[in-house]
Amino acid sequence: MRLYRHNVSSQRGTFAGLLVLLLPVFFPHLFSPLSHASPSVFSEWNAPKPRHLPLLKGALQRQSSDRQQSDLWSPLADQGWKPCINSANPSVIPEKSQGYIQVFLDGGLNQQRMGICDAVAVAKILNATLVIPHFEVNPVWQDSSSFSEIFDVDHFINVLKDEISIVKELPKEYSWSTREYYATAIRATRIKTTPVHASANWYLENVLPVLQSYGIAAIAPFSHRLAFDNLPMEIQRLRCKVNFQALVFVPHIRELGETLVSRLRHPPGRNALVGNEYLQKTTERNKLEAGKFAVLHLRFDKDMAAHSACDFGGGKAEKLALAKYRQVIWQGRVLNSQFTDEELRSQGRCPLTPEEIGLLLAALGFDNSTHLYLASHKVYGGEARISSLRKLFPLMEDKKSLASEEERVKIEGKASLLAAVDYYVSMHSDIFISASPGNMHNALVGHRAYQNLKTIRPNMALLGQLFLNKSMGWSDFQRAVLEGHKDRQGQIRLKKEKQSIYTYPAPDCMCRASTSRQQLII
């Protein structure tokens, strides 16, 4: 009998062991430490508790005055600058082109956007015909979306028809010039050594001879391959014209974006979302906010969390998972990993967590009746990570909550198209806030400055120091936040040397309203 029981127990143990071994086979997503989606259940995820509980409690009990709400939602005053992107001297396209320019763009949507602008400028410098840029498959999101799937090609060509010659495809005689052709061997027509922020003269000295010899030149890589300084004003204005006028999303993206904007401004059944409590709080302040909404770009994905080398409250499992990720992706070449979490935070080098950006918004005066649109791809930690943010802003929406599956079918699973919809909604919001700097932050800060729209830029160094102070109460935190952000709400900042023309459009893309004699594009 004992032997029988022993055999049964042994069989059960063997079966249990086999089951554990087979779990990764049948459920690989649970164990994958390198997933770019939500963290795997067993390898790295311990749901974090609020790290700033006293501040969170104070924020949940916050009250904002009518005056504070009025100031918060008021549009920016006229700052004396106007969009100004047409050159004083009308451009004339020479009758003969020097040849065809191809560029291969990598990165995400906003990095590609800047690359397109630079490609047009390079074609102008060389008097070449630009082939519609080729988008590389995004290695992170595995997105193969092409230029024509994101941007309106006909609009692009039409807006720039008096500036440069653009073709959708190469003529048959150059049909051999493909991405695959350049991937197999060294080719005389490929320019592979373009330095970052190359000057106009570099292109004239190194690319023009290739064009003249072969009739075509393919530049790859091309990201950040044109300088921001020491270029003729007509070239700078042309880059502005591409960014702010020629690049328009395809109709179905604009239509979906407009649908989301409409639903944010006129939410169906808004009373039902918050129950009777909402009806009891219908005040003049709420009437003032009617129809307004803010966009929060929550840039908190696994890449950013790992690269920052900061501690985000996920415990030992999360620290080990992010450290392993850094080693695999960047072979340990992450400068921030040499500093402690306290040092990084005090320097403002840690991305704001969803909880922290929620506390910032609450301190600035956004209340629980704020309609907040979450522009984000995938948040590291999923819903558990954003639970505190959702408690602070129960009317927070995103693409999935505002649009049906049928409405999202053309963009689902395509990171660039999803980002394009978020970009559109962000450009039509009353206020835009980005949790941490990045390509989308930079692109929207510049685009909204160009249109004089309110954009709140978090003071990362200040916030890092405030969050390290565990004894600070809500009133002191709020006072410090308001003081530290009064001049960070969209005020025009003139571009400095080496800064991006796309993030700081003044003075290259804009003119003083009182003195400009240029044609204004409003």
Q: Residues 201-247: pLDDT tens digits?
A: 999 999 999 999 999 999 999 989 999 999 999 999 999 999 999 99
Domain-embedded: residue 168: yes
Residue 17 has a pLDDT of 45
Residue 314 has a pLDDT of 83
Q: How far is CA 21 from CA 16, 28, 40, 321, in A?
A: 9, 11, 17, 20
Contact 86, 237 (CB under 8 A): yes
| CA–CA distance, 422 with 86 (Å, rounded to integer) | 28
Residue 88 has a pLDDT of 64
Q: Which residue in this structure is represented by tokens 């890449």?
A: 303
Last residue in a domain, options 221, 248, 275: 248
**Same domain (yes/no): 297, 244:** no
Domain-embedded: residue 36: no
Name residue 101's beta-bridge partners: 130, 217
**Same domain (yes/no): 485, 428:** yes
Last residue in a domain, options 181, 214, 248: 248
**Same domain (yes/no): 226, 315:** no
**Same domain (yes/no): 372, 386:** yes
**Same domain (yes/no): 322, 213:** no
User: Which range marks the domain in which residue 230 is found?
Assistant: 100-248
Domain-embedded: residue 418: yes
**Same domain (yes/no): 294, 435:** yes
Contact 297, 361 (CB under 8 A): no
Task: Give the number of domains in the chain.
Answer: 2
Last residue in a domain, options 187, 218, 248: 248
Residue 44 has a pLDDT of 56
Q: Residues 168-199: pLDDT tens digits?
A: 999 999 999 999 999 999 999 999 999 999 99
Residue 380 has a pLDDT of 87
Domain-embedded: residue 494: yes
Domain-embedded: residue 173: yes
Contact 440, 300 (CB under 8 A): no
Domain-embedded: residue 14: no
3-state secondary structure 392-421: HCCCEECHHHHCCHHHHCCCCCCHHHHHHH
Whichever domain contains 188, its CATH number is 3.40.50
**Same domain (yes/no): 224, 259:** no
Q: How far is CA 520 from CA 445, 511, 513, in A?
A: 21, 8, 9
Residue 322: other Cβ atoms inside 10 A = 25
Q: Which of 116, 212, 211 is nearest to 166 (CA)?
A: 116
**Same domain (yes/no): 331, 447:** yes
Q: Residues 482-502: pLDDT tens digits?
A: 999 999 999 999 999 999 999
Domain-embedded: residue 344: yes
**Same domain (yes/no): 227, 165:** yes
Residue 211 has a pLDDT of 98
**Same domain (yes/no): 308, 454:** yes
Domain-embedded: residue 91: no
Q: Which of 220, 160, 228, 178 is nearest to 199 (CA)?
A: 228
Q: How far is CA 102 from CA 40, 120, 413, in A?
A: 41, 11, 28
Residue 339 has a pLDDT of 86
**Same domain (yes/no): 358, 450:** yes
**Same domain (yes/no): 301, 337:** yes
Q: Flag residues of the chain having pLDDT under 50.
A: 1-10, 13-43, 270-289, 516-522
Name residue 296's beta-bridge partners: 374, 433
